[in-house]
Amino acid sequence: MRLGSLQLPNNLFLAPMAGITDFPFRQLIREIGGGLTFTEMVSAEGLLRKGKPFLKLEEGEHPVSVQLFGSKPEALAEAACQAQAMGAVAIDLNMGCPAKQVVKTGAGAALMCSPERVRAILTQMRQEITCPLTIKIRSGWDERQINAVEISKLAEDCGVDAITIHPRTREQAFRGRANWNLIAGVKSAVQIPVIGNGDARNPTLIQKMLVETGCDGVMIGRGALGNPWIFRRLNSHSGKRASEIPLQERWNVIQRHLIIIQDYYGKVGSIYQIRKHLYWYTKGLPCCTSFHAILSRLKELDALFGAFHHYFESIQRREEWPLQESMERQSVTGQG
């Protein structure tokens, strides 16, 4: 897929998610086959105040897009220029975040209510950067103000290279169903690539979104939690859910992710991150409730790794009923 001057390996995108799309997760998705990853949402003014410590892009990290939020054209343009200099291959403007602390500043989904401010922001950002410029929008502020098509046309006029649309209103947040018909409406209204987002939780739904809306790509957010295999839509596991991925492959990928996390955050700093991802990875597997109860009590990294390996070895041996008792013994041993 082509994004402005940027040629991407495929049309599957990892959505920016606060506290999730850090470097280890982005790296894992790249290794598995994602086309483009996005950083967590970055405050433009925060980046300008704090510089590189506020945005960490690793050497050789490619391709990665930096998603910025803010409401001031000058700050967003300067931050975009700085992010490009740090190695971002694209800059994305967040116009969809529904969080109160974001919209009260006029940023995120609040921009959907201010077309002229959007025009000023995009025009200035486009003048300052040479890499692709994209936006992520919602349907509108609420059901009385659905203006995604109008905002998309405006963005195209300002030189934006692609549009991602999550077809829920700010009022909906993440509730209810995403209105895929609106993705199709935006696609028919503009000539630039349109990326669909919302309720594409497995390969079957990804394919359905592509066919029904005509969108050029799909951005995957919550569907990737504990399920990085969703980005292997075109390989031998096409159409399979995470729970149907062979156990040995699950083990290998999870272990790889945990190692990247440990290398990046260090032995102490990685504990919370590893525990969080292990919950997602094992959700729905045999005796996962017992395993999750064990995880919540483990405070040492070696104990977390030990519990993870013991859990998967127990599943392989099909020791499902004795699993809780044996894991209790393992957790006691692991905590010393």
DSSP per residue, 143-166: TT-B-HHHHHHHHHHTT--EEEEE
pLDDT in tens, 16-40: 999 999 999 999 999 998 889 999 9
Q: By CB neighbour count within 10 A (0-12 exposed, 13-18 middle, 19+ buried), where does 316 fall?
A: exposed
CA atoms within a 13 Å half-sphere pointing along the CA-CB vector of 137: 31
Q: What are phi and psi of 201, to 5 degrees?
A: -95, -10
Q: What is the pLDDT of residue 237?
A: 41
User: Among 15-19, 43-47, 54-58, where is mean pLDDT lowest?
Assistant: 54-58
Residue 251 — φ and ψ, nearest 5°? Answer: -60, -50
Residue 282 pLDDT > 80: yes
Q: Which of the following is catalytic: 81, 97, 158, 287? A: 97
Share of the chain above pLDDT 70, in %: 91
Percent of the chain residues topping a pLDDT of 90: 75
Least confident span in 69-83, 186-200, 232-246: 232-246
Mean pLDDT within 130-156: 97
Angstrom distances, CA of residue 72 to CA of 75, 150, 258, 277 = 5, 21, 38, 35
d(CA 131, CA 6) in angstroms, rounded, equals 8
**pLDDT attached to residue 328:** 53
Q: Count Cβ atoms within 10 A of the Cβ of residue 252 and give its class: 0-12 exposed, 13-18 middle, 19 or more buried.
A: exposed
pLDDT bracket for residue 329 (50, 70, 90): low
Strands 64-69 and 36-38: parallel
User: Parallel, antiparallel, or unpaired for β 6-7 and 2-3?
Assistant: antiparallel
pLDDT in tens, 76-126: 999 999 999 999 999 999 999 999 999 999 999 999 999 999 999 999 999
Under DSSP, the state recorded for 219 is E
Predicted TM-score (pTM) of the model is 0.89
Say whether 175 sits in a helix, a strand or coil. coil
Residue 268 reports pLDDT greater than 80: yes
pLDDT reported for residue 1:
86
* Average confidence (pLDDT) over 307-319: 84
C-beta neighbour count of 187 within 10 angstroms? 22
Distance CA 3, CA 17 (A): 21
Instruction: Say whether pLDDT at 12 is over 90.
Output: yes
What domains can you pick out in the chain, each with its CATH number? 2-239 (3.20.20.70), 247-334 (no CATH)
Angle between helices 247-269 and 301-316 (to 10 degrees): 170
Residues 6+ apart with CB under 8 A from 104: 110
pLDDT of residue 106: 97
Residue 235 scores a pLDDT above 90: no
Is residue 139 over pLDDT 50? yes
pLDDT band, residue 171 (cuts 50/70/90):
very high
Instruction: State the pLDDT at residue 260.
Output: 96
97 is annotated as an active-site residue: yes
- Is residue 331 within 8 Å of 308, Cβ to Cβ? no
